[in-house]
Amino acid sequence: MKTMHKSPWLLHYDGSSCNGCDIEVLACTTPVYDVERFGVVNTGNPMHADIFLVTGGINSQNEDVVKQIYSQMPDPKVVLAVGTCACTGGVFKECYNIKGGVDTVIPVDIYVPGCAARPESIIDGVVKAVSLFQRKHEEEEKKKNGRHRK
């Protein structure tokens, strides 16, 4: 199906951050940026989500939570790390309780740098994630068909 990319639903999770990126993510949904015009819906529920958008780093407390939420998302799914903290741990990296970026616990597909990440670059990241989402789905289909042929 070619229309998978037209309906990317986001799950936004905020790790250990200063909340700057979160505000920017929310800004994307305001009339100025209106991310819904791409069909993006900001769900609060992993069961409905296609794109896992994480802001902020991973600490010892939210490590399990992030893993669990990731496991509750149905395939195909894309992980998007937004902001420097989510990409690498950022300014908090050396703290005693910080493990680092999101990729220390789950596989990240797309990195959106910036402190805080600009709404434009977040939307850009989301659009990239969307095409990856479509590609992942097509690969899955191919694999399934291949299995059938055997």
Partner 1 sequence: MVEALWGRIGMMAAYAVFAPLIGGLLDGIDRKISARMQGRRGPCILQPFYDVAKLTKKQLLSVNKFQLLMVMSYLFFVMLSGALFFGGCDMLLCFFSLSTAAMFLILASTSTHSPFSTIGSHREMVQMMSYEPMVLLTAVGFYLATGTFRVMDVIRTDIPVIAYAPGFFVGFAFVLTIKFRKSPFDLSTTHHAHQEVVKGVTTEMVGIEYATTTVAEWYENVFLLGVVGLFFVTSNPWSYLVAALAVFAVYFIEILIDNTSARVKWQLMLKLAWGVTLVTGGLNLFILELI
Partner 2 sequence: MENLVALLIFLPFLLALFPALISNEKVRGLTVYIGGAIIAVCAVVTAFFWFADGGTMVFDLPGTEMIDHIILAGDFVLMFIIIWLSVKHHKTVISLLSIVQTALVVWAEKFGPKVSAGAHIRLDWLSFIMILIIGIIGVAIGVYAVGYMRGYQEHHRDVKDRRRFFFSMIFLFYGAMFGLVTSMNIIWLYFFWEITSVCSFLLIGYTGTKEAVDNSFRALWMNLLGGLAIAVAIVYAIYMEGTLNLYDIIENGKNMGVLVPVAMFAFAALTKSAQFPFSGWLLGAMVAPTPSSALLHSATMVKAGVYMLLRLSIAMNGNYVGQMVYIIGGFTFFAASLLAISQSDGKKVLAYSTISNLGLIAACAGVGFEETAWAAIFLIIFHAVSKSMLFQCVGAIENTTGSRDIEDMQGLAVRFPKLAFILMVGIAGMFLAPFGMLVSKWAALKAFVNAPSTLMVLFIVFGSSTTMFYWTKWFAKILGLHEKRGKDLTQMNEYISMYFHAALLILLCVSFPFLSKHVIEPLMVDMYGVSGAVITDGNIAIMVIMICAIFVVPCINYLLTKKVKDKPVIVYMGGANVGDNKNFIDSSGEEKELTVSNWYMTEWFGEKKIFRPSVAFGTLILVVFLCVIIGGAL
**C-beta of 124: minimal distance to partner 2 in Å?**
27
Q: Binds 142, which of partner 2, partner 1, none (CB < 5 to 8 A, cut-off by type)?
A: none
Q: Binds 38, which of partner 1, partner 2, none (CB < 5 to 8 A, cut-off by type)?
A: partner 1
Q: Which is nearer to partner 2, 35 or 66 (CB)?
A: 66
First to last CA, the chain: 22
Q: Binds 104, which of partner 2, partner 1, none (CB < 5 to 8 A, cut-off by type)?
A: none
Across the chain, the runs of DSSP E, i.e. the strands, are 9-14, 41-43, 51-55, 58-59, 78-82, 98-100, 110-112
Contact 132, 37 (CB under 8 A): no
Q: Does 20 bind partner 2 (CB under 8 A)?
A: no
Q: Any alpha helices (H) in 14-118, and if so which ranges?
A: 20-28, 62-71, 84-88
Contact 57, 101 (CB under 8 A): yes
Q: Binds 94, which of partner 2, partner 1, none (CB < 5 to 8 A, cut-off by type)?
A: none
| Window 39 to 98, contacts with partner 2 (CB under 8 A) | 45-47, 64-66, 68-69, 71-72
**Range in contact with partner 1 (rule: CB under 8 A) among 39-47, 57-65, 92-100, 120-128:** 39-47
Which residue type, as a one-letter code, is found at position 93?
K
